[in-house]
Amino acid sequence: MHGFLLNVLLALVWTMAVGKFTFPQLVLGFLLGFVVVTIVEPLWGKPSYALRIGRALRLAGFFLRELILSSLRIAYDVLTPQLHAQPRIIAVPLDAQTDTEITLLANFLTLPPGTLSLDVSVDKRVLYVHAMYVDHRDQFIREVKRGMEARLLEALR
């Protein structure tokens, strides 16, 4: 995250150095900054910046896919006469630890239709999720942990 802020800052510095605040210059500055941060970050003992950006992009792709698939599922359920929803409120144990991680996970889970995070327990160990299409409780928990949570933590850490 800090790497990304540094990257944006470097892009702004580049436009100032060139003296032209235009969109192409900003993009060029961003690309140059990307190279700089990629070289510099490992010196601070952090995992590769390029790798983390790649993971973040993969997370975004996964998230978009989920959003579209689950929207279509709800649309199908609304349009067909029979109701297929099997809603449950499920306690999902959390691997995410910091407030940032939990907040992001809860938000990412709430956005696609079909799942809605209701609350986090005080000790930050369990996230309560209202899910509409769940055949089996344990299967749902496994899907969340392997899919959304694993990818999110991978991108953040």
Backbone φ, ψ for residue 82 (5° rounding):
-85, 145
Helices and strands (H and E) in the chain: how many = 6, 3
Closest approach, Cβ 56 to another protein, in A, equals 14
- Residue number, 26 or 53, with CB nearest to another protein: 26
Residue numbers at the binding site for another protein (CB under 8 A): 23, 67-68, 71, 74-75, 77-79, 83, 85-91, 106-108, 110-114, 116-123, 125-126, 128, 130, 132, 137
- Residue number, 48 or 103, with CB nearest to another protein: 103
Neighbours of 96 (CB within 10 A): 20
Closest approach, Cβ 57 to another protein, in A, equals 15
Q: Which 3 state secondary structure label does DSSP give 135?
A: coil
